Structure 1
Amino acid sequence: MLEGNRVSRISVRGFAVASATAVTTVGAVVGVASGSTPGSTTEPAEATAADATLLADISAGNQTQAQTASLTQQADAQSTAADAAAKKSAEEAARKQAAKDAADKKAEADRKAAEAKAEAKAKAREKAASVASRSTRDSGDFPVQASYTVAQVQAMARQMMPADQFQCFSNIVDHESTWNYQATNASSGAYGLVQALPGSKMASAGADWKTNPATQIKWGLNYMNERYDSPCGAWDFWQANSWY
């Protein structure tokens, strides 16, 4: 019976040695424990307890390593997820900022374009007013007549506006009244060379607006300058819309 117990304990120690082959210190301990004096018939109780403790330590060490590896993997996964979230957040912030910058840039460009347009229009009006003020003749410079021919009316118009604006003015009058200063639109009531609607508007240029073509020319020229910057500006609009 004693010999049988000895064999069993030796087998346990052999298993412990095989399980801890890679551990130098463990191997040394097991080697010492295995090197009992030949011929002895008893095994110290301390050796058996050491073997059991060694097995427990190896098992606990393996579990600790496994738990550590699992925690490391979890930490790595969480770090990767955090990096991805941070990257996505940064990209979204960059996209929003780019959109805002583009909108601000467009708004600034629109503002500058509007200012430039307004400035150009103001300069055109100033130029038109300056040119008009240098015209050689005014409506009051022409003698009043009982009637006027088309040639006489056209001669008045040439003398009352810049030379480069006469053709545009003439084009509009050709379409509106064919240079008839007494032309009346039967349906709308528009009157005169430039077909003012109502005709009484032309009273701002002179009380004789019904019978004096020079007064009608003066009013029509002022209207075109104020609304379209010049007769040519009015003619451009007329061509696009068939009215002005």
Structure 2
Amino acid sequence: MPTPPKNPLRYNRVLLKLSGEALMGEHDFGIDPKVLDRMALEIGALIGIGIQVGLVIGGGNLFRGASLSAAGMDRVTGDHMGMLATVMNGLAMRDALERSNIRTRVMSAIPMSGIVEHYDRRRAVRDLKDGDVVIFCAGTGNPFFTTDSAACLRGIEIEADAVLKATKVDGVYSADPHLDPTAEKYDKLTYDQVLDKKLGVMDLTAICLARDHGMPLRVFDMNRPGALTRIVTGEKEGTLID
């Protein structure tokens, strides 16, 4: 039985969005097993206090269709290859979670019989209620849509309380804090402020989808130990967009 948290929960069901680049760790390409294990530990802490966790992972650590598209590759072909990269990341994350004794199901927007299950919303919600982590792969299943858009879409479909976007910085800034030391951090923003200020948190489609369906977004630094737990228990962490 999950252990009840000392603090009341702000969220009971979340959709966590991880970039593919986050899985590279200190490498320039591929997957760092140590990063997978650390993320599995953080996600396991949520499962342990009864939080339901859905997961969308990008594929940029293995393939970036946009760059090859600029070099002449057909955009649809590149996007399909990117979708396959997200499935590879999903399988790697499932392995890390299951080695930590966390039941995990991988669902793909593209049928891939024998490797992962095809996406089924009702089945996904049942699994979440049973305490399983559900990893949603292959984006939306359509080209021209980012994995950020897929995260917002799946979050809305499974009726998550929030979409949590893990990044390399501890929230949303007025400029890149790595390049501009005067960049201002925002604790809270509206969807329209994100769009008006062109902050680049997510693509336009993802932000508009979240806004139109009232889906809160929280941007945070996944490299801060315990960040996920602090978010769901109501502590101050990252930037809230709603």
Q: Same fold (TM over 0.5)?
A: no
**Which bracket does the TM-score occupy, shorter chain normalised?**
under 0.3
Higher percent of residues as strand: 2
Higher RCO, 1 or 2 (CA under 8 Å, sep at least 6)? Answer: 2
Rg larger for:
1
Question: Normalising to structure 1: TM-score of the pair?
Answer: 0.22
